[in-house]
Amino acid sequence: MKAAIILSGGLDSTTLLYDIVSRGYEVKAISFDYNQKHNREVHYAIETCLMLKVPHRVYNLEVLNSLAPSSLTRCEIEVPKGHYAASNMKSTVVSNRNMVLIALAASYAISRGINTILYGAHSGDHAVYPDCRPEFVEAMKSVLKLCDYTAIELEAPYLNLTKGDILRIGLRLGVDYSKTWTCYNGRELACGKCGSCIERLEAFEQNNAIDPLRYEN
């Protein structure tokens, strides 16, 4: 029942953390700061782990910012507005990010005798993000069984759930969503207009719940 979770500090991974803690896992969390515009999420990940008393490390991955230009990593590229289904949301792709994060999480887990890695990919990501799709997860599962002397299991429990489904789980678990960050813009308040904000707001509406985050509009 030992696991390492890739914790972004967003709604999905934070819910997953609460979920596995409630199931009795002995969990360690790792986060990555790649100088993303929305690195406020990392600060919320730290706060959540302190609150839940979960061991947590933040690793500097600034090289990913240099390697993978995106509207999430470049000030000169504006974060697009609108739903995830819009073609312009592709500018938010940080190329190969999850493969890099999962590979580093595997090194972390192996060195600590942990044989399970979890991350919070979900169905709402499938249209835009190739590294959140079932095919990618299945391929990575195969790789992680071969990458070391000890086979590593990769789990994405929310892979076929919507953001609304995940939020429903989190509301039942009592997740403090004021300690999560979803907006892709790095401003003081959430914009409410990027695809990530829109999906989050719709999830709260579907669950007849109020989002505790403050928004610009």
CATH code assigned at 120: 3.40.50.620
Give the pLDDT score at 73: 78
pLDDT value of residue 71: 80
- Domain hosting 83: range is 2-206
pLDDT at 205: 98
pLDDT over 70, % of the chain: 97
Instruction: Kindly tell me if the per-residue pLDDT of 35 is higher than 90.
Output: no
Whether residue 25 contacts residue 2, with contact meaning beta carbons closer than 8 Å, is answered with: yes
Phi, psi of 137 (to 5 degrees): -60, -45
Give which of 59, 177, 188 is closest to 111, Cα–Cα: 59
Count of domains in the chain? Answer: 1
Rounded to an integer, the average pLDDT of 40-65 is 94
| pLDDT at residue 84 is higher than 70 | no
Instruction: Give the per-residue pLDDT at 86.
Output: 63
Whether 104 maps to a domain, the answer reads yes
For residues 150-155, give the mean pLDDT.
94
In a domain, 199, yes or no: yes
Within-domain flag for 215 = no
* Residue 1 CB contacts under 8 Å (≥ 6 apart), including other chains: 24, 25, 26
Task: Specify if 49 maps to a domain.
Answer: yes
Within-domain flag for 97? yes
> For position 163, what pLDDT does the model report?
95
70 in a structural domain? yes
pLDDT digits (tens, 9 = 90+) for 156-191: 999 999 999 999 999 999 999 999 999 998 889 999
The mean pLDDT value for 36-63 works out to 94
Quick one: pLDDT band at residue 85, thresholds 50, 70, 90? low
Q: Per the domain annotation, does 211 fall within a domain?
A: no
Q: Where are the alpha helices (DSSP H) in the chain?
A: 11-22, 40-52, 62-67, 97-111, 134-144, 163-173, 195-206
pTM of the model: 0.94
> Could you tell me which of 158, 206, 211, 162 has the C-alpha nearest to residue 182?
211
- Mean per-residue pLDDT of the chain: 91
Tell me the per-residue pLDDT of 104-147, one tens digit each, with 9 for 90 and over. Answer: 999 999 999 999 999 999 988 777 788 889 999 999 999 999 99
